[in-house]
Chains A and B, each alone.
Chain A
Amino acid sequence: MTTKLTQHSTAEYFAKNLQQVGFSSPVKAVLTTLKEAVDNSLDACEDAAILPELEVIIRKIGQGSARNTELVEVIVDDNGPGIDADDLPSVFGEYLSSSKFGRGRCSRGQQGIGISAATTWAQLTNAAGVRVISKTKNMRKAIKEQIDVDIKANKGLVKNKETIDWDRPHGTRVEFRIDGRVQLNGDGGLLTYLEGTTLVNPHMTLKYKLLDNDPVEVIRVSNAVPEVPPPTLPHPHTMKLGEFMTHAHLYGKVTLDNFLRKGFSRVADEAIKGFVKNGLPKSFLSKPVTGLSEADYKTAFQAIQASELQNPSTRSVMIVGEEALSKSIQRLGEIDFFSVVTRKPRICDYKPVAVEVAIARFVKKVNLGDETDPIQLLRFANRVPLQFDKAACAITQAVESVNWRAYGLQQSKSNLPLGPYVFAISVVSPFIKFKNASKETIDASDELVEEIRRALMQAGQKLSRHIKREVRAADLERKLQHIEKFGPILVEALGKIVNAPKARIKRAEEGLAKLLGRDGREAEKELAEAETQLEKVKAKQEAVVREGASGSTDETKEPLKANQSETKE
């Protein structure tokens, strides 16, 4: 008996497997829909060098079609460049239709699956896809239409198309009506997502209204649109042998020397000398790459891997920057103190990666526990919050592996530390290794965990300055109490044993008061010194926050240098 083989479209596959891309439960469906829409808006604004202004509305509008679900409306409105009428069906209704696939950029979206999956979810649960309004600056009127997914053909289907007047020069508004359930707080909550997105997008102004809560507006703290890094030539250390050979064949009949210089970043005279020193036969350099045998390639590749090379260009990896993060974190609540670290990009698992850490202690913030609760951990990959499957993530593992007690935080061994802190850790790379297609966890390789750990430890060192002051203050308090409590008892007990007259006891009490007073003053002095140190640090941070957001790329240079020297130590 033979089985009939059939072909299926990509859309069919995803329509059957939406749980793989973040639609595995009603709660996650709402979050994923919001996330995909916001990611697209922010990416579009960045590409067009527009400072993003987003508005998010989430409301319940009735019963869902499935049991135990509600019909939830998710609206995301942006001031982005808008989408051409011809492109609308493929953007929202076609899988793997993307401008970013495999380009090696640090954009939020990568494959072109997410927003089409959201359209599919709306269509499967509410029998209607996404409703879009879009206008580019060349259009006089905006287009309003509904887009469904033609699941058999993996194509977008336009319905109810009309042109309308819209009060803005350009932008896009999407409305999804889906089956779901709304969860605001906790690791997987919508509020947690919006807070995280706020933190790593200092240039974004965000208005949101969630259910019946009061509307919230978060104003941008940076006027610099992040420069979208251009795709750069690959770095030799990011490749495996097979990739190296394929890459060489793209260059045709050029010499190896020429190929190495033209085909890679960070390869020039010095680097080539280094390759020769590490075992690359000099004669190979003048040979055409087409004439090299597999063994020759291997020899050349091994020599390159054995050589020290400059790190990949900072420009190939996008960072928020310490200063922008410092400003942005103030938007999450009333902060007691904070510490931010942006590490220089380095290679982990053959890919350039930059790690940024912001740790803040809050006086007042929604969603945060007290001294006895674990810290709130915000994880980001390419500036997108990761909210599920915390335990397996490289970031969580790195946080748990650090001994936070050394920096003054409470922590039971190999667990998250405790206290009213937010730990925000952002991993940025053109090629992040995710554990699954829904991009919820970063694969925990040893190199990446170590790199995150280092960033955390740097941030911890900065943090400990604040905590030390607190400890000193508590110490002084304790010591002063000791004097009052134990001094009289000591003198009295001594007097009892030696049977001393009252006059002697009085003299001893006076002497003791003098001695301990001296100590008390000493402790006060130490505290004052610690406070002065801390004030300096705080003043520095405040200066940074006050400074204008202009020229943010220049601003990041200084702390980066500092980090470099710390790393070398």
Chain B
Amino acid sequence: MAAPETLRKSSKDIPKIANKICDDMLKDLEHAKRPLLEAVKCSLDNSFYDPKVGYLTPGKKKVATELNVSSVQKMARTVFFLDILLNNIRTGGVNTKRELYYMAKGLIKSDSHLKPLDFDDQPESDAIIEFICDMLMVYREEMNCFANDRGGQTYSKQLVVTEHLPDGTRAEVDLGSLGTTPFQPKNKPQVFKLKTKGKIDFCLIIESEGTANTLVSNGFTKRYKSILVGAQGVPSNGVRGWVRTIQDQLKIPCFFYGDLDAYTLQNIFRTLKAGSAASLIRNSEFSAPDVRFLGVLPEDVKKYDLHCYPVSEKNPAEARSLKKARDVLQNDPFFQDRRNKKLADILNWLLKNKVRCEQQAIFSVNPKDPTMPEKIIVEKIKRGSFV
């Protein structure tokens, strides 16, 4: 089976890099020197944000594992798993982490002297896969290890997607012809070429897929030349990569609409716009730096008299969210950057007023008019009421 053709084809020769690492380890061992495996430290304290780059990038911090009696198990597991992944790359095999866990168990079962490597549970093998990716500075998909498909549901009357398939054929999907069925890109690199039937004014990403569906049912995409994407909570790689493709290929303004609370701003919007600390090495392809925050904004709460919920320090979950907002202001380079001051201002407003407002609150404005929510959204875009 040939290796799948992907748009985000790795610029790195993974087998070569892996071979070099293993060769160095073997050399060290021959000289009774301790081999050292280094991986990028994927955490907030090793994240840097440059607005010109647009997403979080890794710093110089490394997680180093030196061979000793305690780490020999981890190292043996790492090299064992690396062999499985390299084999997948060679043969074009594609697997999820769960499948890889069972494959490893199968190999161990078939060779009794490998028994000490056995994994008790999937988190153990997942940790090894993640360590390998961080060590090679590649993302899981480049090692042909894919997560469950969870791309965002997308609607548009103007968008036409052409997919280049691994066997050399092409598939063309006209989103306008799909009726009420959404187009849903996969959570793995697909080769898409986008074109439009006429001009598209904007792309709107909605936090709640339910609300996205409601807008479509009420005729949003018929009335406005747009692309509508449901983000389904914290955006998956599928959503992030897909919005990035729209942003890069169509060069249209992209807006995000979600709840007004610390969680949405920090976990959902920031991850969509600039990636996350946990995925530092793949943010370059899985973030859409041009997306703007359309709302809910504090000014909307006032203008449309939207219903808010109090956030209390006494409620443990809510106290955690307040603490997180404070932490973010102090430690997250994205919110600390001058260009994102307006986003930081929203966090400060949330801390000061101790309330949160849900995205569906706009449905309370003139409930007799079902098109009211879309009117508010479009008016905000026209008015420039976004951050």
| A interface, CB within 8 angstroms of B | 479-480, 482-483, 485-491, 493-498, 500, 504, 507-512, 514-516, 519-520, 523
Contact = CB atoms under 8 A, between A and B. Distances in A.
Given A486-B76, A490-B76, 11 more contacts: A479-B69, A482-B69, A482-B70, A486-B72, A489-B80, A491-B26, A494-B22, A497-B82, A497-B86, A515-B67, A520-B69
B76 A489 contact: yes
Nearest to B114: A489
B379 to A, nearest CB: 54
B117 interface: yes
Contact of A487 (B30, B32, B72, B80): B72
Given A483-B69, A490-B76, A516-B72, A496 B83 contact: yes
A24 B86 CA distance: 75
B67 A494 contact: no
Interface string B14-50: 0000110011011011111110000000000000000
22 contacts: A479-B69, A482-B72, A485-B116, A486-B117, A489-B113, A489-B114, A489-B116, A491-B29, A493-B76, A494-B22, A494-B25, A495-B26, A497-B18, A507-B30, A508-B29, A509-B29, A511-B31, A515-B29, A515-B32, A515-B33, A520-B69, A523-B69
A479 B79 contact: no
B69 A497 contact: no
Given A489-B114, A497-B18, A483 B30 contact: no
B340 interface: no
A492 to B, nearest CB: 9
Contacts of A495: 26
Contacts of A485: 73, 116
Contacts of B33: 511, 515
A343 B29 CA distance: 56
A514 B69 contact: no
Nearest to B70: A479
B75 interface: yes
B148 interface: no
B19 to A, nearest CB: 6
B32 A514 contact: yes
Given A485-B116, A498-B26, A490 B70 contact: no
Given A482-B73, A493-B79, A493-B80, A515 B26 contact: no
Interface residues of B, number: 30
A501 to B, nearest CB: 11
Contact of A512 (B19, B22, B29, B83): B29
Contacts of A504: 26, 30
B218 interface: no
A478 B31 CA distance: 26
B68 interface: yes
A78 B113 CA distance: 69
Contacts of B79: 490, 493-494, 497
B345 to A, nearest CB: 42
A523 B116 CA distance: 21
Nearest to A507: B30
Nearest to B79: A493
Of the candidates B30, B31, B68, the one having the most CB atoms from chain A within 10 angstroms of its own CB is B30
Interface in B48-86: 67-70, 72-73, 75-76, 79-80, 82-83, 86
Nearest to B27: A508
Contacts of B113: 488-489
Contacts of A507: 29-30
Nearest to A523: B69
Given A489-B76, A489-B117, A519-B69, A494 B32 contact: no
A511 B19 contact: no
Contacts of A479: 69-70
B26 A508 contact: yes
A486 B31 contact: no
A482 B116 CA distance: 9
A385 B28 CA distance: 65
Of listed A494, A495, A498, A504, residue having the most chain B CB within 10 A: A494
A516 B114 CA distance: 19
B70 to A, nearest CB: 7
Nearest to A479: B69
Residue in B22, B29, B75 with the greatest tally of chain A CB atoms within 10 Å = B29
Given A511-B31, A515-B34, A493 B83 contact: yes
A326 to B, nearest CB: 37
Max chain B C-beta neighbours (<10 A), residue from A495, A496, A497, A500:
A497
Contact of B19 (A486, A490, A497): A497
Given A490-B79, A497-B83, A511 B32 contact: yes
A482 B72 CA distance: 7
Contacts of B28: 511
A507 B29 CA distance: 8
Contacts of B83: 493, 496-497
Nearest to A520: B69
A98 to B, nearest CB: 52
Nearest to A495: B26
Contact of A490 (B30, B34, B69, B75): B75
Contacts of B70: 479, 482
Contacts of B31: 511
